[in-house]
Amino acid sequence: MNNYTAAEDRYEKMTYRRCGKSGLKLPLLSLGLWHNFGNTTSFENSRQLLRTAFDNGITHFDLANNYGPPYGSAETNFGKIFKEDFQAYRDELLISTKAGWDMWPGPYGNFGSRKYLIASLDQSLKRMGLDYMDIFYHHRPDPATPLEETMGALDQIVRQGKALYVGVSQYSAGQTAKAAEILRNLGTPFIIHQPRYNMFDRWVEDGLLDTLEKEGLGSIVFSPLEQGILTSKYLDGIPADSRAAIEGGYLDKNKITPRLLEQVKQLNEIAQNRDQSLAQMAIAWLLKDDRVTSVLVGVSRVSQLQDNIDGLKNLDFTKEELEKIETILKKE
């Protein structure tokens, strides 16, 4: 039974960008379900995050087979919420998942073989209770499997009706160009790349963004806040409940150097002068480039999501602001 009715004005609250040269448009913000949709977090909180996102015009929810913990649980929990809240809105949603990292034991549960990718997507569809995926990604390059096999699996997936579009994640500029050539020759709707990109991690500027533009591909960038560094969280040290404080976590506390903290403080001053939080400015900075179709945000609280959404109200930068930001980021 559906107890949720979406806000009627949801599409008035969001701007959408065309994904490369495809017919698909993505919201400027998309919601990633990496950290906060597994079995170790509140199911009700996950539901409220999804509802708040859609009520504000965020139509794109991004998952992967191994999101959790444990692996698969984010897809399972999303499937439960989808069935109860979003089934009536299926044709208004873009739902994506990925495969490429370790998922199950043995030689067929990792990387980029046809065997793994097709089996993984079949499992993902069952966990989420969906008939098809809007976008299916190969999650990372596979150094051992021929690219022709991996791309051929993506082509087969589309032809079987299991996905509408395909994409790749973390491929280099050269790998992306080769993948695009293979898929173009196969007639496969390859439309998007999902790279890591933020103020402190700018590898995509060394050729990838130019390649995406040349190949007519869109991009959805993840880790826009550098695991929370580009927020006010670390301005006064490392909080006990932060990712950097967790031993063996995703953020190494040794990365929080005095130099880095000084850069963050100076960036925060620019954000304050723009009447934005640092997180809002970091997202706006990414969206200044039209080749970035959407920014993928991962949040644990509704207030964080709302803060990200509110940041879309000011996406313009003056020349002076951009020059100041560059000076700060280049400081040794």
CATH number at residue 180: 3.20.20.100
Residue 276 domain flag: no
Instruction: Write down the pLDDT at residue 234.
Output: 84
Per-residue pLDDT band for 114 (boundaries 50, 70, 90) equals very high
Residue 127 domain flag: yes
Alpha-carbon span 226 to 314, nearest angstrom:
21
Q: Domain of residue 74: give its range.
A: 10-226+286-313
Q: What share of the chain is helix, strand, coil (3-state, %, to 5)?
A: 45, 15, 40
Q: What are the pLDDT digits (tens) for 186-220?
A: 999 999 999 999 999 999 999 999 999 999 999 99
Residue 320 domain flag: no
Alpha-carbon span 2 to 89, nearest angstrom:
11
Q: In the chain, how long is the greatest CA-to-CA distance?
A: 57
Question: How many domains, the chain?
Answer: 1
What is residue 214's three-state secondary structure?
helix
Residue 148 domain flag: yes
Phi, psi angle pair for 112, to nearest 5°: -140, 25
Residue 154 domain flag: yes
Per-residue pLDDT band for 59 (boundaries 50, 70, 90) equals very high
Residue 34 domain flag: yes
Q: What are the pLDDT digits (tens) for 147-195?
A: 999 999 999 999 999 999 999 999 999 999 999 999 999 999 999 999 9
Residue 183 domain flag: yes
Whether 17 contacts 57, CB under 8 Å: no
Mean pLDDT of the chain: 95
Residue 263 domain flag: no
